[in-house]
């Protein structure tokens, strides 16, 4: 199975294969800009110049200024820098009451870990409920934005069920309440046009490896005027907010990956070109007996938007019993397809999915989730190949 073609890799919300153009950009940077960009000799200056060119390129693609970007090792570190870095200046809440952080019930494990770290520092953490398709309850958000709430962190595109939260409405409520908003945009960037400077967001986390960029690099976007404290000390790189020698080649790969995404979006009027394939595949998968949609229905205008490369279902066997998602993923792998039963960062935990449980699913279906996430290289061949493979895998359990 080591030679599995990318056409059968359907776990792009976990990570993606490196695009050839990205590999080429990284190889060039590694040859021409291999030195430490903090060094003052010519080799170091060449590395610093390459780093800043990439920074300005990424910033332009995201619709922000280069000074708003802090490079990190990925989405998890960006989330921690956002929450822990913003916390200290906010810890004196009005009235002396312990400050409060709001998160949703469907957050990534990195956000939950950062929230627990804040709890150990004396913060209150309040989870906001979600509805049956994973959308945050905006009325609950508005209620909980009262003091002592000082910080909100929400996932924009939920990786397990594909729900895109209404960011404009959320940001407007946070601005009205004077509460800082951090957004986990790891699953959204590259799949829709963004002009981050126009969004009502204070902090935003992104990562390269979800869009055919390299693992090991991400960024935190910081609105001008937002005060942060560093989480990693040392040489004072990245404006003093993230010490450590910058990975120049990885940042060059990040820029190349984002540029590929923009070109694809430009050719299709701003719509992710994989969305029509996702819609057709979803229709065929849902036609199978014992398969039900989880998360928003992309054909239902009353539902929230869904990540355009994402579909998720819960599955029963031929006897009507719920199939354990992990076993189904293993059975599909025997059929030659790489899928997921949920977030890759929590897939080793087994049992019912906390995300599906938060959405109101009981233990049976909450443990029977299957996620299929597509990349730009996938073709209509999947329409003929995957549904019968899923039916065979289901029948084998």
| Catalytic residue positions, numbered | 345
CA 342, 344, 346, 350 torsion-angle sign: positive
Decide: 220 and 186 in contact? Cβ < 8 Å.
no
Residue 94 makes CB contacts below 8 A (sequence gap 6+) with 147, 148
Residue 355 DSSP one-character state: H
Residue 229 makes CB contacts below 8 A (sequence gap 6+) with 84, 85, 88, 89
Residue 58: name the closest of 256, 205, 243 by CA. Answer: 256
What secondary structure does DSSP assign to 125-138, as a single string? EEEEPB-TTS-B-H
> Strand, helix or coil at 164?
strand
Q: How far apart are CA 379 and CA 62, in angstroms?
A: 28
Alpha carbon 391 to its chain's center? 29
Residue 323 DSSP one-character state: P
Rounded to 10 degrees, the C-alpha dihedral 271/275/276/278 comes to 180
What is the number of other CB atoms lying within 10 angstroms of the CB of residue 231? Answer: 18
Q: How far apart are CA 318 and CA 239, in angstroms?
A: 58
Q: How far apart are CA 113 and CA 119, in angstroms?
A: 10
Helix spans in the chain (H): 20-32, 42-62, 75-87, 109-120, 138-144, 167-177, 248-267, 275-286, 325-334, 354-358, 363-366, 381-395
Q: How far apart are CA 240 and CA 248, in angstroms?
A: 17
What is the number of other CB atoms lying within 10 angstroms of the CB of residue 360? Answer: 14
Decide: 374 and 309 in contact? Cβ < 8 Å.
yes
């Amino acid at each position: 199975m080591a030679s599995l073609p990318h056409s059968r890799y359907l776990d792009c919300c976990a990570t993606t294969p490196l695009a050839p153009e990205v590999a080429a950009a990284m190889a060039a940077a590694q040859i021409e800009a291999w030195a430490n960009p903090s060094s003052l000799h010519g080799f170091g200056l060449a590395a610093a110049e390459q780093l800043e060119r990439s920074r300005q390129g990424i910033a332009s693609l995201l619709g922000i200024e280069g000074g708003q970007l802090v490079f990190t090792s990925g989405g998890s570190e960006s989330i921690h820098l956002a929450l822990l870095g913003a916390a200290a200046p906010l810890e004196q809440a009005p009235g002396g009451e312990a400050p409060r952080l709001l998160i949703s019930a469907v957050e990534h494990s990195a956000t939950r870990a950062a929230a627990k770290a804040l709890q150990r520092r004396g913060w209150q953490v309040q989870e906001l409920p979600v509805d049956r398709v994973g959308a945050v309850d905006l009325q609950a958000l508005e209620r909980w934005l009262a003091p002592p709430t000082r910080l909100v962190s929400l996932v924009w595109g939920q990786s397990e069920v594909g729900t895109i939260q209404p960011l404009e409405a959320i940001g407007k409520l946070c601005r009205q309440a004077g509460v800082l908003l951090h957004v986990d945009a790891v699953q959204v960037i590259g799949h829709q046009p963004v002009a981050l400077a126009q969004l009502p967001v204070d902090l935003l986390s992104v990562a390269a490896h979800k869009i055919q960029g390299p693992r090991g690099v991400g960024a935190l976007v910081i609105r001008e005027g937002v005060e942060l404290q560093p989480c990693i000390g040392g040489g004072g790189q990245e404006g003093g907010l993230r010490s450590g020698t910058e990975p120049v080649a990885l940042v060059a790969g990040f820029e190349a990956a984002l540029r590929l995404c923009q070109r694809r979006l430009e050719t299709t009027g701003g719509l992710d070109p994989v969305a029509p394939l996702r819609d057709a595949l979803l229709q065929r998968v849902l036609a199978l007996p014992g398969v039900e949609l989880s998360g928003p229905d992309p054909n239902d205008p009353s539902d929230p938007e869904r990540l355009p490369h994402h579909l998720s279902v819960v599955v029963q066997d031929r006897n009507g019993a719920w199939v354990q998602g992990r076993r189904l993923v293993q059975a599909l792998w025997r059929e030659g397809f790489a899928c997921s039963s949920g977030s890759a960062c929590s897939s080793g935990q087994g049992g019912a999915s906390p995300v599906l449980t938060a959405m109101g699913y009981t233990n049976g279906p909450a443990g029977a989730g299957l996620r299929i996430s597509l990349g730009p290289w996938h073709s209509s061949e999947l329409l003929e190949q995957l549904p019968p493979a899923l039916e065979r895998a289901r029948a084998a359990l």
